[in-house]
Amino acid sequence: MRLNLLMSPAVRKLALAVHLMASVGWIGAVVGYLVLDVAVATSTEAPVVRSAWIGMGLLTAWAIVPLALASLLTGLVMALGTKWGLIRHWWVLISLLLTVGATGVLLSEARAIGHGAALATDPTTTPSQILALPSTLPHSIGGMGVLLAIQVLNVLKPQGLTPYGWRKLQQERRRRVDGTR
C-alpha cells in the first residue's frame, strides 16, 4: 500500500514543509560551516583557527548531521507518500542517491571534525598543533555542490521515468482503460 493513500492533503503539506525546512536548513548550516572552514584554511592565527574548529564541531554535531538525517528521512516520506514515488522518476532516484551519499560522507567526516574540535577545545593543545590541523574545505565545497544539485533537481523536477516508472505508468493506463482499479 502506498503511503499517499494514508496521507491527507494537510499531512502532505506538513510533511513537505518539514522536508523543506530540514533540507534548506542543511544548506544554511553548511554555509556557516564553509565560512569557518575558510578561516581554518586561510588564517595563520591560532586563536582564530581554534575558534573556527570549535564552531565547526558544534555546527556539525548539532545542526548539519541532524538536518542531514531529517532531510533524508523526510525525503523518503515525501517520495513514498506522493505521486512521485521513490524509484518512478529519475530526479527522485538521483536525489535519493545523492542525499544518501552526501549523508554517508558527512557521517564519515563528522568523526574527523569531532577530533579536530576536541583538539581545539583542549587547553593543552599548542598553537602550532592547532595551526597544523588540516582544513576540510574540499569536502565542504563538494558537499555544498551536491546539496545545491539536489535542490535544483527537486525544484526543476526534470521529466523522465525509470524503467520501473514506465511499467507502473503502463499498468495504470491499462487499469483506466479496463475500468478496474
pLDDT at 181 over 60: no
- The pLDDT score that the predictor gives to residue 68 is 98
Mean pLDDT value of segment 3-23: 87
C-alpha 16/C-alpha 124 separation (Å) is: 47
Q: Are 40 and 113 in contact (CB under 8 A)?
A: no
89: amino acid identity, one letter: H
Q: Is 160 left (phi over 0), alpha (psi -120 to 50) or beta?
A: left
Closest alpha carbon to 72 in 34, 31, 107, 37 = 107
CA 61 centroid distance within chain = 14
54: amino acid identity, one letter: I
C-alpha 27/C-alpha 181 separation (Å) is: 41
- The pLDDT score that the predictor gives to residue 1 is 42
pTM of the entire predicted model = 0.91
Segment 29-72, tens digit of pLDDT:
999 999 999 999 999 999 999 999 999 999 999 999 999 999 99
- The pLDDT score that the predictor gives to residue 115 is 97
Segment 112-155, tens digit of pLDDT:
999 999 999 999 999 999 999 999 999 999 999 999 999 999 99
Res. 170 pLDDT band, cuts 50 70 90:
very high
C-alpha 25/C-alpha 133 separation (Å) is: 27
Mean pLDDT value of segment 160-175: 92
Residue of 1 and 99 predicted with greater confidence: 99
- The pLDDT score that the predictor gives to residue 31 is 98
Helix (H, G, I), strand (E, B) or coil at 8: coil
Instruction: Give, as one character, the DSSP assignment of residue 164.
Output: H
Res. 7 pLDDT band, cuts 50 70 90:
confident
Segment 84-118, tens digit of pLDDT:
899 999 999 999 999 999 999 999 999 999 999 99
